[in-house]
Structure 1
Amino acid sequence: MRFNPKARLNTRRMGDAGRSGARGGGSGMPIPGGLAAGGGITGLIIVVVIVVASMFLGGGDSGGAFDTSRMSDTDRYEHCKTGADANDDVDCARVAVENSLYDFWSDTLPEFEPEQELRTFTGGVQTGCGQASADVGPFYCPADQTIYLDTTFFDEVLERQLGGPDGGFVEPYVLAHEYGHHIQNLMGTMGRVKTQQGPQSDAVRLELQADCYAGMWARAATTTEDEDGNVLITQLTQEDIEQAIEAAEAVGDDRIQSSGGGSVDPDSFTHGSAEQRVAWFRTGYENRSLRDCDTFAAGSV
């Protein structure tokens, strides 16, 4: 994956909470599981049904529940100015990917103005959905319309614990999946989730649709532009797409369950099997259609 050196990066929607020693707990409501917290990429957290979940599943209105502008910021992304910076620096590459996702979805769904924030942290962070730790994995909080990412996740969890790939396009796939949850929140899709476990459950359909949306973006990534009309991403190779597919396989419910030495229990799936996740990413990549990504309309996923 290569970025256009002449592209200008916009850090307006980026933030970093710095390092915290928290590993969960803390004040406020705890993250209530895969649905209220926008799923996360891995399904490592247990889906829990609690009353307050309905606050977060009603669509795009955050209700002012949490003001991220009052959160401390480390200015981690202040130096990211151009695509040349993105080619040389992983933090700036993250900015460029966010800019690309924002441009793609702004063009695809202009009626929703899909503005969000991408906030990184290390250890733990307070969110509009409660206190989160690195154990949650990357996730989207609809209450504050923010994607949260512990940047140690890719080496510590995805690669070492789950045997996932180590490559430059793995993080963009994960970010695209979480951005997909933001789109679902704006479109009211999260409110359609009633059944929370099982290979054909609404929870799994929500996650697979986010994978499909990630595929849609990946196919169009080299056409996305900065605010001046300069192309952001100049090269996306087949190897990049294979890295995304390997990452999707690694975070399948069956792969996660078997990696811990346990048996595979489809009735407890919350995110979909490796096969399902790869299939729906491919659907988005090959068909590039919101209609084809409608997992809730599919008879079987």
Structure 2
Amino acid sequence: MRLDDERESSNVDDQRGSGGGGGGTPLRIGGLGGLILVLGALYFGVDPKVVLNLLNNAPSSSAPASQKNHTQVAANDPEKRFIARVLGSTEDVWTAYFQQMGRTYHDPRLVLFTGGVQSACGYAQTSVGPFYCPADQKVYLDLGFFQDLKNRLGASGDFAQAYVVAHEIGHHVQNELGIMKQVDRNSGMSVRGAAGSSVRTELQADCFAGVWAKRANDARNILQTGDVEEGMNAASAVGDDRLERKAQGYVVPDSFTHGTSAQRVSWFRRGLESGDINRCDTFSAPSL
């Protein structure tokens, strides 16, 4: 990715090494409704039970990071600067897009943490992965997840990482547009399952990530050879079917929360090719 000329967002809160690894109210995924739809983004593509299975079978790559002293995190940390530039790009794209729609986009904040973090949606440990909390309009990210994405899930590259951030920002866009409240009120739609509201919500966030990439590239020419392939590979790597098969050897569609690898790739591609959020209506789509 070409990000050297991109501005760094000032909306990054660096809480790494601040001792957030202890106690607190557990992050809960019960209650159905709006909270599960957003926290369905946990681990960016897998049911939390599957995550726990994966984590129990492999050492956590983010454990060393959680032991860093906060003073050792330099202000010019390249990982933080990369995230800040991606976030800045999403802010520019969505601000301009919302203006075209006659609306105002409110920038979210992105919290970097290690070990654990307290959000307005509850307490979360690193093992839950990146997530968006609508109650405080913040994205939470442990950078150790990117090592898991590369080493354990086989999705490497800077654009794969940008896709993760853009997906979570996609949930914020849903929140800004009132989509999450609409889904929460639609009690007639099942939350879980292959065609449930959680899958539709997550696939739309994938599509919104593609919309960002398309518009950012049109405006600033940020994509390089191989970037699109990295994004597609990341989308495929975090499909429910692939993760369940990896964790337990078989697939249970009724437990899906994010969609299959093929679906995630398809909806990300749709946003990337169109740059139009109107092409991201997963809730009206008869087939995902």
- Which residue of 2 is the match for residue 149 of structure 1? 141
Percent identity between the two aligned chains: 42
Helix, strand or coil at the partner of 1:292: helix
Contact 1:16 1:75 in 2 (8 A): no
- 2:20 is the alignment partner of 1:10: no
Match in the other structure for 1:43: 46
Q: 1:276 matched to which residue of 2?
A: 263
Q: What is the number of equivalent residue pairs in this alignment?
A: 255
- Counterpart of 2:157 (choices 161, 167, 186) is 167
- 1:102-129 CA distances to partner (integer Å, 9 max, x unpaired)? 0100111131323110111111111110
CA distance 1:8–1:267, shift in 2 (3 Å): closer
What residue number does 2:60 align with? none
Shift of 1:267: 1.3
Query: What SS is found at the alignment partner of 2:287?
Result: coil
Whether the 8 Å CA contact 1:18–1:74 is kept in 2: the answer is: no
Gaps of 5+ in 2: 31-35, 51-69
Which one is further off, 246-255 or 214-223? Answer: 214-223
Out of 178, 182, 188, the position equivalent to 2:172 is: 182
TM-score, scaled relative to structure 1: 0.78
Contact 1:140 1:147 in 2 (8 A): yes
Structure 1 unaligned residues grouped into runs of 5+:
48-72, 81-88, 225-230
Secondary structure of the corresponding residue to residue 280 of structure 2: coil
Partner of 2:64: none
Distance across 1 between alignment mates of 2:149 and 2:7: 31
SS in 2 for 1:2: coil
Distance 2:250 2:203 in 1: 22
1:287 deviation in Å?
A: 1.5
User: How many angstroms apart in 1 are the aligned matches of 2:74 and 2:8?
Assistant: 10
TM-score, normalised relative to structure 2: 0.81
1:132 counterpart = 2:124: yes
Q: Which amino acid aligns with 2:17?
A: R
* Residue identity in the other structure for 2:96: D
Pair 1:78–1:22, CA change in 2 (3 A): closer
Greater helix content: 2
Aligned to 1:209: 204
Residues 124, 131 of structure 1: 8 Å contact kept: yes
CA distance in 1, matches of 2:18, 2:243: 26
Amino acid at match of 1:276: Q
What is the CA distance between 1:220 and its match in structure 2?
1.5
Q: How does 1:1-301 map to 2 (within 5 A)?
A: 1-5=1-5, 7-11=6-10, 13-19=11-17, 26-32=23-29, 34-37=36-39, 39-40=41-42, 41-46=44-49, 78-79=75-76, 89-110=78-99, 111-155=103-147, 157-161=148-152, 163-191=153-181, 192-193=183-184, 194-224=189-219, 231=220, 234-301=221-288
Residues 40 and 258 in structure 2, CA contact (< 8 A), matched pair in contact too:
no
